[in-house]
Structure 1
Amino acid sequence: MGALTGVESQLQSHIRISLNTGLSSSQLRQVARNLAAQGNVDAGARVQAAIDRVSE
């Protein structure tokens, strides 16, 4: 199943919340790598891009 499109702002909000509750960007990047490794390359790329935007 593919990643949902059009929900990038919601994903960024979840990433900000995760960072504010103690997860590191390194841990979130590992989630992106795991998604890609499990075969969901699109979702992994979206998570990685959202982390990059939040980290700017």
Structure 2
Amino acid sequence: MRHLIYEQEIIQQEYDDINDNNFRDDIFAKTVDRGILYHNYEITFEFKCGIKRNGWTKKTKKK
């Protein structure tokens, strides 16, 4: 149970950092098991604790 609480706190911190434009890629890399990007720009992140989160990304052009 402590492990799940710890993972949830890390995920919440990541969410707060993203909203503050202060993304911590080191923490993200430690907590995410894998990410899946679908053709419709949907993203699924699977965290090491078993939690899955879905989101969408904006289509951007490479410069």
TM-score w.r.t. structure 1 length?
0.40
Q: Which has the higher contact order (CA 8 A, sep 6+)?
A: 1
> Of Structure 1 and Structure 2, which has the larger fraction of its residues in strand?
2
> Of Structure 1 and Structure 2, which has the larger fraction of its residues in helix?
1
Name the larger-Rg structure: 2
